[in-house]
């Protein structure tokens, strides 16, 4: 619709098929970003599980797993992986939508911009994302928390976690 208004303002006759092709092209690119992020997160998740399984044979690591320290270490590792993925893709979607770039050109543009403005982008993503860290830590200790309090505390923690995460993602998106 916006493309058709743009065409009308330039004195051209709006063409529905051209607008649909342009919109479909952008949706395909955005779906590519979604798929790439999903694959990266899946790779990291299953890679961590495989690494823990392989390292569990070592006595030192096995004692950390039994002591529960590994869960907390993984929360912090995942936090930094999330920061890295968010930084890589932070400008890719605006490049794809606003500058009409394809998937790889938008991703390369995002990487070059993040490399130039690394500290600013890191701060703009890291500070709001730090707010979600306590919820991640709470979720790892949720079974112990349920034993000591009411089981409904799980719903409260998970619900607050979702609300805070959506709010923080909105703040990160707007700040960039």
**59-100 confidence digits (pLDDT tens):** 666 666 666 677 777 778 888 888 888 898 888 888 888 888
Asked if 96 contacts 106 with a C-beta cutoff of 8 angstroms, the reply is: yes
Task: Give the residue-averaged pLDDT of 109-132.
Answer: 90
**Dist. CA 134–CA 40, nearest whole Å:** 24
Cut 0.85: pTM above it: no
The yes-or-no verdict on residue 121 having pLDDT over 70 is yes
The per-residue pLDDT for 61 is 64
How many CB atoms neighbour CB 29 within 10 A? 23
Rg of the Cα trace of the chain? 21
Task: To the nearest 10°, report the CA torsion of 53, 55, 61, 64.
Answer: -30
Q: Which residue has the higher pLDDT, 26 or 14?
A: 26
Task: Give the residue-averaged pLDDT of 39-47.
Answer: 84
The yes-or-no verdict on residue 45 having pLDDT over 70 is yes
Nearby residues of 176 by Cβ (< 8 Å), 6 or more positions away? 90, 91, 94, 121, 124, 125
């Amino acid at each position: 619709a916006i493309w058709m208004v743009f065409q009308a303002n330039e004195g051209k006759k709006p063409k529905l098929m051209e607008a649909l092709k342009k919109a479909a092209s952008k949706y395909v690119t955005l779906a590519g970003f979604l798929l790439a992020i999903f694959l990266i997160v899946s790779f990291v998740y299953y890679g961590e599980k495989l690494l823990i399984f392989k390292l569990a044979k070592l006595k030192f690591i096995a004692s950390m797993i039994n002591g529960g320290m590994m869960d907390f270490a993984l929360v912090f590792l995942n936090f930094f992986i999330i920061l890295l993925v968010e930084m890589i893709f932070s400008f890719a979607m605006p490049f794809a939508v606003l500058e009409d770039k394809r998937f790889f050109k938008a991703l390369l543009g995002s990487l070059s911009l993040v490399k130039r403005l690394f500290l600013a982008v890191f701060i703009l993503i890291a500070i709001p994302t730090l707010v979600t860290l306590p919820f991640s830590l709470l979720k790892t200790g949720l079974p112990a928390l349920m034993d000591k309090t009411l089981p409904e505390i799980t719903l409260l923690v998970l619900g607050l976690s979702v609300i805070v995460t959506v709010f923080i993602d909105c703040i990160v998106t707007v700040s960039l």
